Amino acid sequence: GGDMFALIWNNKDKSIQAINGSGRSGMASTIDALKAEGHDTMPQRGVHSVTVPGAVHGWETLLNECGTMPLSHLLQPAIQYAEEGYPVSDIISFQWSNQVEMLSKLPSGQEMLLNGKAPKHGDILKIPTLGRTLRAIAEGGSEAFYNGDIAEKMAAFIQEQGGCITTADMTNHTSDWQDPISTDYRGVTCWECPPSDQGVAALEALNIIEGYDIAGMGAQTADTYHHLIEAMRLAFADAFQYVADPGFAEIPTAEMLSKEFASKRRALIDPNHALETVPYGKVQGGSDTVYISVVDGEGNACSFIYSIYSNFGSGLIVPDTGIVLHNRGALFSLDHNHVNALEGGKRPYHTIIPGLATKNNELYLCYGVMGAFMQPQGHLQLISNLVDHGMDAQAALNALRFIVTENDVSFEEGLPPQVLADLTSKGHNTKMISSYWRGLSGGMGGAQLIQRDPDTGVLHGASEPRKDGCAIGW
């Protein structure tokens, strides 16, 4: 019930494609209707936060263009796990336990609980209704999801809950192939999906810090953190101001990615003190995201990300399907004049961003960071660790991170007290995040990475300890 994005590297012709597999609001969606219900801001959960799930169509579109195996074959392991069960990991159990109260109150929420409780670490969880849905998709492709019984159940349930998505909204959904956007950072070309995706924020932040001697400041020092934090705050301010569905607004992407624009933004940074006012919108943490990085034997690469946004998305589970509906519509605005104002058939600002990087027109990195608004911040820090500080793939993922939120900047446990004190003295409102929370909502995200050695062609895989994940080669 979520969305997907991907970047594809074709090693034969050295080209990169982007696919936007995100859904749109129901055509009948209006700001006035929500305001009439008493909403002053966009609901963060519930039926009004639901947009058409775009992922299934995105999977099929991606496979038809770039795949070597049919969707019916690729879905078999997922079907088996749903029907026969799988052991729940420690971190997933912890996340699940924080959602029991919400799930217990929801229609069909009991489908996601074991005897009314969250599954414990090591419990075997079965979701047979999801298995049936996946079987239908395996047999009938995306047509089985967006037309017929599944679409009718989804639309009927959404309308019963007071939403406005119809079977026509489901039937008319499409995915889009797009030209990716990029910037050069000290000889490495970093690629992102274009708006409505927030990847432009990561690229703008890289352009801003390129004007500083980040390597000379040293890894994980107060000066380095300060300049990266300020660059990220400025980039977010611009993203929240301009990034939207390009079908509904003119996005100044080229200007946002220009070195001249970055120079103007850089001039606002005081090396000794945090900016007191950087207007940017309210951000919400999200942690129901999966990222996969793949490089095949022919050198082709896929940077793939999928999400339902918050834990259990909108909090709505379509009866008899196992489909958890995402809450991506939470990122719309109820301000008629805002670039992300809610309108019918519109895609919202999107947080999930796959990443690729090339060097001398050859694949260099295939990477991604899960975690809503942590994602561009993670891309910035990951690239800086590799390029500025010369870290290897695993060290770049393991390095201590920060996350900028509305009024604070949080760091994870292990940061030297003097570094934290120095940042506080520069005017940053600092906090610390520890334990499981580093990888959860509002935390430091979770990254996967494949790095290609430009001299030997050897691939180096890395997966960090903040989330479940692993690096596999064969």
Of 61, 289, 358, 430, the active-site residue reads 289
Radius of gyration of the chain (CA): 22
Instruction: Residue 325: name the closest of 155, 113, 117, 102 by CA.
Output: 155
Token pair, residue 131, equals 């298995």
Residue 171 is a catalytic residue: no
CB 202 within 8 A of CB 401: no
DSSP assignment, residue 431? E
φ, ψ at 448 (rounded to 5°): -130, 150
Strands (E), 249-384: 289-295, 301-307, 316-318, 323-325, 354-359, 362-370
Instruction: Residue 228: name the closest of 202, 254, 259 by CA.
Output: 202
The DSSP bridge partners found for residue 270 are 273
The residues assigned a catalytic role are 289
